[in-house]
């Protein structure tokens, strides 16, 4: 069966659309000529916030950059990412969440754990060896008031001009979102735990 030849007007319209897209892309590239250290926030109720930040870590390692990671809530036994990334000499990976608990009246303990993690974060942010610092689950720590938001913003805002900082966790404070250069909010459309009763699996959730 013979196929109909393409409509010349449709072909021309498609060519014009492609040309406009290419011209717009070229204009944006021409305008984006400078570089700077970025504050990146990955938040929202969906899965993938930490994964996004660690994907950036792999890119940075590939460029020969030194990466610092502080996990504020997760413990060492929860972190296969620590096992993998710590194999790279260019990565300093600190899990400080061993003292963190969701149960009982342990606010003082959680504050103390958050302060220990924040001390590690400040050390990395202040050290010019680091090109990227990832503060995993800091959003949640700030949401519950375990660290003073104004103090955290002051340190982050005073970072070296070339330093990138990535912050993860749901419930990112509005002031941190406002200060950020990039914000991605991840939403859960489907999740096998809720929809199918599938438990957390190694290599996927931990």
Domain ranges of the chain: 37-188
The pLDDT, as a whole number, for residue 24 is 67
Taking the model in full, what pTM does it have?
0.83
The pLDDT, as a whole number, for residue 12 is 73
Q: Does pLDDT of 34 surpass 60?
A: yes
The pLDDT, as a whole number, for residue 58 is 97
Please enumerate in sequence order all residues whose Cβ is within 8 A of that of 147, keeping only pairs 6 or more positions apart, or say none: 111, 114, 115, 118, 138, 141
The pLDDT, as a whole number, for residue 114 is 94
Residue 130, sorted as left (phi over 0), alpha (psi -120 to 50) or beta, turns out to be: beta
Residue 151: CA count within 13 A, CB half-sphere? 11
Beta partners for 90? none
Interval 140-146 mean pLDDT: 95
Q: Does pLDDT of 181 surpass 80?
A: yes
Q: Which fold has domain 37-188?
A: Rossmann fold (3.40.50)
Tokens for 146?
């375990």
> CA 36, CA 129: separation in Å to the nearest integer?
16
Cβ atoms of residues 163 and 126 within 8 Å: no
Query: How would residue 177 be classed by pLDDT, with cut points 50, 70 and 90?
Result: very high
- β 66-71/39-43 pair status: unpaired
Lowest model confidence (mean pLDDT) among 7-11, 114-118, 120-124: 7-11
In the sheet that holds 182-185, the strands lie side by side as 91-95, 66-71, 130-136, 164-168, 39-43, 182-185
The pLDDT, as a whole number, for residue 92 is 98
The pLDDT, as a whole number, for residue 41 is 98
Interval 72-90 mean pLDDT: 86
Please enumerate in sequence order all residues whose Cβ is within 8 A of that of 152, keeping only pairs 6 or more positions apart, or say none: 118, 138, 142, 176
């Amino acid at each position: 069966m013979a196929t109909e030849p393409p409509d010349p007007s449709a072909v021309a319209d498609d060519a014009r659309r492609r040309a406009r897209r290419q011209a717009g892309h070229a204009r944006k590239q021409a305008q984006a000529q400078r570089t700077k250290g970025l504050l990146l926030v990955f938040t929202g109720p969906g899965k993938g916030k930490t994964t996004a930040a660690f994907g950036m870590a792999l890119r940075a390692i590939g460029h020969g950059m030194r990466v610092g990671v502080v996990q504020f809530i997760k413990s060492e036994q929860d972190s296969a990412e620590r096992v993998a990334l710590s194999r790279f000499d260019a990565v300093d990976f600190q899990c400080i969440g061993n003292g963190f608990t969701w149960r009982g009246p342990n606010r003082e303990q959680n504050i103390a754990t958050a302060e220990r993690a924040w001390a590690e974060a400040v050390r990395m942010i202040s050290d010019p060896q680091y090109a990227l610092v990832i503060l995993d689950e800091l959003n949640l720590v700030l949401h519950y008031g375990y660290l003073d938001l104004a103090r955290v913003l002051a340190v982050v805002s005073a970072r070296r001009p070339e330093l990138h900082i990535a912050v993860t966790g749901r419930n990112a404070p509005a002031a941190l979102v406002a200060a950020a250069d990039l914000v991605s909010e991840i939403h859960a459309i489907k999740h096998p735990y809720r929809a199918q009763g599938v438990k957390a699996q190694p290599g996927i959730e931990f």
